[in-house]
Copies of this chain bind each other. A is one copy, B any other.
Amino acid sequence: MSNTQAMPQLDADDGAVVVPCCPPLTERPFTAAEAGTAAPMFKALGDPIRLRLFSAVASHEGGEACVCDISDVGVSQPTVSHHLKKLKEAGLLTSQRRGTWVYYRVEPSVLAAMGKLLTMPAA
């Protein structure tokens, strides 16, 4: 599972496909395919703990944070790890081990893409 081979369209670590995705939600009705791509990103942010973890990483210096810096969200450490994994699988975060610690960082392009989805029709 944790082989380090080069894999196309995958993040440096593992499982974190980065896609451009979809027009604004208000532009035209989403197709099933578009919804299937975009929904998991919203879903990933749809849990309070994950939202806090994501915000903690995103607001951290350099858009990057060690797990140890953001683990204080009121759940056990395994649960934190589980949620970070979900965020990574949704393509919102990437992870990198540096020595003893593991650092998570936001995927800026995905954040921007989600922002555009919620764009209003030019007022």
Contact = CB atoms under 8 A, between A and B. Distances in A.
Interface of A: 25-32, 35-36, 38-40, 42-52, 54-56, 58-60, 63, 70, 73-74, 106, 108, 111-112, 114-115, 118-120
Contacts of A25: 51, 54-55, 58-59, 111
14 contacts: A25-B58, A26-B59, A26-B63, A28-B55, A29-B55, A29-B60, A30-B55, A32-B52, A36-B48, A42-B42, A42-B51, A43-B46, A115-B115, A115-B119
B59 A27 contact: yes
A52 B108 CA distance: 25
A32 B48 contact: yes
B35 A51 contact: yes
A48 B39 contact: yes
Contacts of A35: 48-49, 51-52, 55
Contacts of A31: 52
A36 B45 CA distance: 11
Given A43-B43, A55-B35, A29 B70 contact: yes
Closest 5 CB pairs of A and B: A43-B46, A115-B118, A30-B55, A35-B48, A42-B45
